[in-house]
Amino acid sequence: MPTSTVARVRQAYARIAETDRPEVWITLRPEADVHAEAVRIDARTADGADLPLAGTLLAVKDNIDVAGLPTTAACPAYAYTPDVSAPAVARLQAAGAVVLGKTNMDQFATGLVGTRSPYGAVRCAHDPALVSGGSSSGSAVAVALGIVDLALGTDTAGSGRVPAAFQGIVGIKPTIGLIPNVGVVPAVRSLDCVTVFARTVAEAQEAVHLMVGPGCPRSRGWPADAPLAAPPVPRVAVPDAPLPGLTPAWADAFARTLDRLSDAGAVLVPVDVSPFLEAAELLYGGAFTAERYAAVGAFIDAHPLDTDPSVRAIISPASGLRAHALARDVERLDHLRARALAALTGLDALLLPTAPEHPTIAEVAADPLAVNTRLGRYTNFVNLLDLCALAVPSGEGAFGVTVIARAFADHVAADIARLLAPSPQIPPAAPALPLVVVGAHLSGGPLNHQLTEHGARLVGPVHTAPHYRMYALPTDPPKPGLVRVEAGGHSIEGELWLLPPAALGHFLAALPSPMTLGRLLLTDGTTPTGFLCEPHATTTAPDISPTGSWRTHLTTTTP
């Protein structure tokens, strides 16, 4: 990334001219305005301001408010100009990101193709004959073309994932409610998510973390037991039978991707995915379209000539739905959710292709509703079942896969995605408490599973200040006892882990005598919680302090 925001802005506008993709944008800010904002960001950075996204350019889907720029939802007759930005946008701007403009989309966020817009069909970044995927089409293409670093989309049926797959980039659809939807034109209010496109998992994760927080009636915070990491050997559900609709070439690509994931250390577990796929059919094939009508149906009925025919054909008929039809589908979904979550028992995530095919723009024009329906086969169920998802390229051209996990297991999905799309680790966003371990809970140790089973994340090696003595306790399994002393102490090597807060309470409740939890003083002056030992238990135990490390003691002890 360039060293200054100003340099990044110059690069972006040069790239816009070079790529010549005007259909990507609905509103592109004048370069002079963006340059002036970049100058201010660089000046604040020079003055020492903490702006983690300084030098980052952002594109925003045009159903998300940016102060002073029109919000059209790809319908000019619907346009309004907000005075304030949506919280999701404002939080990224507060971190130093500069908005380049508002991007094209499937009208009213209804579609997975990227062609349902009066501003033109958004073409795939890599092959203009192919669809870009929707509804967050322009945002995904702006990232794939290298014009912006991050882009916001929305996702109700797969709009933050299908465009990512077709462009070969990363798309994160977080758990519903983590990012507020205020300032977002609703599609299905109870299911909508603000999503992020980026080139790496780490970049997308950082943006999500910055946007998380309260701000709307449906906001949800991280629970105390939200896992912070995937286990060292994740167990990933995969289909136990051929997927319906998957093209032969992409079926082969998916098989190769599964081999790569297995080679990377995951355990693949075949499961019946039919309840997931059946739930997907409810999003458009049932009464849930009533929420789309509640959002924009009256406007569409009043402005038939200003709306896309395919969008109108989906939303307007929902005016005739009866309340009992929605109640029936809610009950059916409850049964499907129970079956789907039961299929994931003991597993960390589900891996599916993001889309079954990559159609051409001409194919969509010939049969717009049927092609769009096919593209949602593996995505439509995710929000209905309250799951999180992360789409990543698989190294197979436009073919990509999605890691799908339970609500609030966003960090688990990201870690598994990294097995296919390597990316730096970043600190978790969910609440976390530090814990220092020096013995049997170390990585590879016999009790380490007690950490990983609770979703703990390894931070790295640490050393205590030289105020401790360590003893080899006669326990099963063997473990050390760490005691703080006034004089004659040693620095002891350990590991720092982050635990979900609920997990630390579990450790305290289950801790066997003579072990205790207390504050440890580390060489950097911090005092995280760590494992200590009651002094009385060390009176006859061998003093192994000079080794400085439990691992060293184990490797030097004669069997």
Q: Which residues are catalytic?
A: 61, 135, 159
What backbone torsions phi and psi does residue 468 show, to the nearest 5 degrees? -135, 150
Q: Say how many Å lie between the first and final Cα of the chain, rounded.
A: 54
What the block records as the tokens of 482 is: 């760490």
Locus of tokens 């089973």: 453
What the block records as the tokens of 56 is: 């980052």
Pairing of strands 529-533, 433-437: parallel
Instruction: Report the Cα 49 to chain-centroid distance in Å.
Output: 27
68 Cβ neighbours under 8 A, 6+ residues apart: 81, 82, 83
The DSSP line for 272-321 is --HHHHHHHHHHHHSTTHHHHIIIIIHHHHH-GGGS-HHHHHHHGGGGG-
Residue 441 Cα distances to 233, 438, 495, 550, angstroms? 16, 7, 9, 11
Strand 98-103's sheet: what is its strand order?
Answer: 25-28, 98-103, 57-61, 150-155, 193-198, 170-173, 387-396, 399-406, 349-353, 235-239, 267-271
Q: How far is 86 from 79, CA to CA, in rounded Å?
A: 16
Query: Nearest 5°: CA angle at 140, between 210 and 195?
Result: 35
